[in-house]
Amino acid sequence: MTSKKIYVLFTQYPGRDAKLLMWRTKFPYTHTSVGLEEDMDTFYTFISKGFLVEKVTKYEKPDRPSFPCALYEINVSEETYNRVKEKVLSFKENKAKLKYSTLGLVGSFIGVPLTRKNHYFCSQFVAEVLQECGVVKLNKKSSRCFAKDISEFEELKLVFEGTHLSYVDKFVKKSD
């Protein structure tokens, strides 16, 4: 059976909201996104503007400080990989309908899962994609998952921890 890899990238962006999340979760990373092995620069996630195709190299600018990140991989079958890819691409195709779920994040913060159609926060999106595609089994609703919860999935294997600039040097520039 052919093995493929799904990636989960955790990052720590500066800011007041990030500090509040780090305090609440006792975890150094506040943002998470999912990627496919085809392109180590491209990840999929939700931010305050909605669904985002995130390029790690976008943040590689002299006026932006480097920030911490950690990359985990999950080995999956080709069939599971294709399900994840289809799911992520369906989000991308429906981007205009998708919104960030501030209420969902607040609900998760206070322990009350709030789900609304087409509304997600980053870790909710990653957890839901991984569960719906059969990669992991959640022990709580995806609308209650923070980045820390995702990092605890036993299927994840840490492959990199450092700054986003060192990530780009190691995984993106080498494949150019």
CATH number at residue 94: 3.90.1720.10
Per-residue model confidence as pLDDT tens digits over 30-60: 889 999 998 999 999 999 899 999 998 887 6
- Of 112 and 125, more confident: 125
pLDDT band at 105 (very low <50, low <70, confident <90, very high): confident
**CA atoms within 13 A of residue 115's CA, in its CB half-sphere:** 10
Q: Is the dihedral of CA 157, 8, 169, 67 positive or negative?
A: negative
DSSP string for 32-51: EEEEETT-TTEEEEEETTEE
Half-sphere exposure of 8 (CA within 13 A, CB side): 34
- Predicted confidence at residue 30, as pLDDT, reads 87
Average pLDDT over residues 60-80: 86
Could you identify the residue written with the tokens 């990238």? 9
Supply the range of the domain harboring residue 136: 3-175
pLDDT surpassing 70 at residue 162: yes
- Rounded CA-CA distance 30/87 in Å is 23
CA distance 84 to 120: 17
Q: Are 88 and 42 in contact (CB under 8 A)?
A: no
> Total structural domains in the chain?
1
Contact 9, 69 (CB under 8 A): yes
